Amino acid sequence: MSSLDKMWLSFYAMGFMAISMGLIYVSRHKLSNRLLKFLFAIVAYVLLILAFFAMVYIVFSGPTGGA
């Protein structure tokens, strides 16, 4: 994977973390319907887990050997 691809993957991961933070806030404080709370929380945690694995890949794949 090139350095540019890793940059975009890290941006996506940071975006997923920000979206999951917003979804968790909405599900805990703004919604009263239990089904919607559950769905928002599940989506948020799935995005958070995807972001975690993306960041682990970026950190442990090492440098890409540019000039």
Q: What is the pLDDT along the chain (67 residues), one digit of tens a residue?
A: 888 999 999 999 999 999 999 999 999 999 999 999 999 999 999 999 999 999 999 999 988 766 5
- Asked if the structure places residue 30 within a domain, the reply is yes
pTM of the complete model: 0.86
- Asked if the structure places residue 23 within a domain, the reply is yes
- Asked if the structure places residue 66 within a domain, the reply is no
Q: How many domains does the chain have?
A: 1
Q: Which domain holds residue 42?
A: 3-60
Angle at 30 between CA 14 and CA 36, to 5 degrees: 80
CB hemisphere CA count around 2 (13 angstroms): 4
